[in-house]
Amino acid sequence: SAAKYNMAAEISEGFTSLSIGQMAKAKNPVDFYRQHIAERLAPILNRKDSELVPLLLWATTLDKGDLNLPVAALRVKGKPPQDLAKEIAESFPTSDDTLVTLIANGPFVSFFFKPEHLLKTLIPEILTSKTAYGTNPVSGLKDPSDPSKGQKRVIVEFSSPNIAKEFHAGHLRSTIIGGFLAKLYTIMGWEVIRMNYLGDWGKQYGLLANGFKQFGSQEELDKNSIAHLFQVYVQINKIKSAQDEPINELKKEIKEKKAKGEDVTELEQKLTPLVEESEDEKARKYFKSMEDGDPEALALWQKFRDMSIGKYQKTYARLNIEFDVYSGESQVKAENIKKVLDNLVAKNIAEESDGALLIDFSKFGAKKLNKAIIVRRDGTPLYLTRDLAAILERHDQYHFDKMIYVVADQQNEHVAQLFKTTDISGHKDVAEKCEHISFGMVKGMSTRKGTVKFLDDIIQTVKDTMLETMMKNENKYNALEDPDAVADILAITAIMVQDLTGKVRNGYEFNINQMTAFEGDTGPYLQYAHARLCSIERKANADLSALGSADLSLLQESHAINLARALAQYPDVVLNTLKTREPSTLLTYLFKMAHALSSSYDHLQVVGSEPELQKARLALYEAARQVLWNGMTLLGLTPVQRM
């Protein structure tokens, strides 16, 4: 078994640069035990070891052992699992085993790693793999001539705000969850394309452009493009709404009179100029010129788009997020929209109704999805129509193996309509590669100053509270070189951790006091766990490069052993997080580790103990710090060294 294990190690030898995305292969120490146990179980059960390896599952609590064999999974007929578990436990050769002990535990056989061996393999493995610990190998780059070969490719579409509109709670969650999924797939060996599908097209951008001509300021635009465009949009929209009122009233009156057979010439004469001069009509005309490719109209729109993206990029960077592609509704090609529509009509999926084109999903066994209009009476396509074209465009361009849409549950019907239509229109293969990660809403994202509208404001509001909390400990605060930068990171951590704590599909209450607290399972608490380990290393003047020679057999205390056992679980936790696609799987583990650490410090002191023991404990702490760091950065956090 050791031979097999080492071979895997050698294959990965070449990779020494270990940052996320560079795809190094680190060993999962638990796999070594899996192999060892499976080889010893094989003759007892008369099964191949390769069949038994996947049946050895990690235990969520350490008192249940380090690996469990659920005996029922062996599917042995005619013998109750409890009895078989006992038999296995009795037959397993333990007298010469330096690696594991075991007990029958009801229908399970529970295996415990022997501390001495665990410590001496695990700790050096973490200390040398560093950021690669918990990551998975890749099978090589994708072959452009044959997309089915090699590394798998996933598009994660997330964040996707609308230009000149609010960045609301839904966009915040999509950004946080999507950023996490992109990192997760990356370290698990996938090629990830991070895509931002902007809401950047439609009549409202005609309205915005006209508004800018009236109220816009180049200076303000340069200063804060997103806030300024929003302000312009609100202003012009007010004017438009005021104009809409009399227009709609006149239209109603005309309709009523017509129905009664009365003469409406006079009313129509009144209506025409009102409509002609309305902002709505001007916006329509402007957008029409954009659609027709008018260079001047497009140049202004392009400027708004570019500047908004520039501003967003800065804010995303604060969250450790970068996009590979800024696509958006504007980028969907007209010819592809036409192709989709022609196909839907030819296949009798879309039908005409009252001048518009719609899909009645009840005719395709999906009554729940109701009806969806895909072309308006005035001939313009809709949000869904663009998505229908975009999904195929992306498949043609990127040959993805998987595509994930991180979109709020308010759009469940929209996304289901998108997938269903794609499926029944002859692209079942594409639809099957797509997945909607649907999340619940954030409630109460408002502050004393009113509702927050932009990502930067959200962060600033939390940061204010964070600074107040930090200042309560004057000594620590004064020791910080750049308290503002620390507050910035802690605020962002607070927001992200609160967001990632619950199940993705559940919503939560945006609670600034709760998320910024240092007690409880909060972002600051997690940061504190990391900062404390850094502080221990600083105070001990630790030479981290010398820890490889530590005598780990000196770690005898149950606190040390249990901490090591928790560290061994990390690669399996990451694997399991990929299965559940739930960030809370990882976060729960990190909090458990933080608790285990804080209860260890009194028992495992560094400063004041013998030099050799000090070194061994530092090796353990540095391994713990590395695992915390790996987990936190996977969640998108920036671990701090002091706070």
Question: Could you list the residues that contact ligand ARG (CB under 6 A)?
Answer: 157, 160, 162, 197, 199, 387, 405, 407
Given 86, 130, 165, 595, the catalytic residue: 165
Given 152, 171, 420, 453, the catalytic residue: 171
Is the Cβ of residue 28 or residue 162 nearer to ligand ARG in the bound state? Answer: 162
Rounded to a whole number of angstroms, the minimum distance from the CB of residue 307 to ligand ARG is 18
Rounded to a whole number of angstroms, the minimum distance from the CB of residue 643 to ligand ARG is 34
Is 223 an active-site residue?
A: no
DSSP one-letter code for 135? -
- Whether residue 569 contacts residue 479, with contact meaning beta carbons closer than 8 Å, is answered with no
Please identify the residue of the shown chain whose CB is closest to the bound ligand ARG: 199
CA distance 496 to 165: 22
Rounded to a whole number of angstroms, the minimum distance from the CB of residue 445 to ligand ARG is 15
- How many separate helices (H) and strands (E) can be counted in the chain? 24, 16
Is the Cβ of residue 33 or residue 405 nearer to ligand ARG in the bound state? Answer: 405
Torsion angle (degrees, nearest 10) of CA 141, 144, 150, 154: 80
- Whether residue 526 contacts residue 637, with contact meaning beta carbons closer than 8 Å, is answered with yes
Residue 519 contacts by C-beta under 8 Å, 6 or more apart in sequence? 525
460 to 179, 318, 449, 453, 516: CA distances (angstroms)? 20, 12, 12, 12, 13
DSSP one-letter code for 328? E
Mode of pairing for the β-strands spanning 442-443 and 508-509: parallel
Is 240 an active-site residue?
A: no
Is the Cβ of residue 323 or residue 405 nearer to ligand ARG in the bound state? Answer: 405
Given 27, 168, 436, 463, the catalytic residue: 168
Rounded to a whole number of angstroms, the minimum distance from the CB of residue 370 to ligand ARG is 17
Rounded to a whole number of angstroms, the minimum distance from the CB of residue 405 to ligand ARG is 6
- Whether residue 351 contacts residue 221, with contact meaning beta carbons closer than 8 Å, is answered with no
CB count, 10 Å around CB of 310? 11
Is the Cβ of residue 92 or residue 405 nearer to ligand ARG in the bound state? Answer: 405
Is the Cβ of residue 181 or residue 623 nearer to ligand ARG in the bound state? Answer: 181
- The contacts found for 300-307 with CB under 8 angstroms, 24 or more apart, are 300/209, 300/212, 301/205, 301/209, 301/330, 304/163, 304/164, 304/205, 304/208, 304/209, 304/212, 304/225, 304/229, 305/163, 305/198, 305/200, 305/330, 307/221, 307/222, 307/225, 307/229
- Whether residue 56 contacts residue 28, with contact meaning beta carbons closer than 8 Å, is answered with no
Nearest to 164 by CA among 209, 215, 197, 218: 209
Is 592 an active-site residue?
A: no
Rounded to a whole number of angstroms, the minimum distance from the CB of residue 250 to ligand ARG is 33
CA distance 492 to 460: 9
Q: Which residues are catalytic?
A: 165, 168, 171
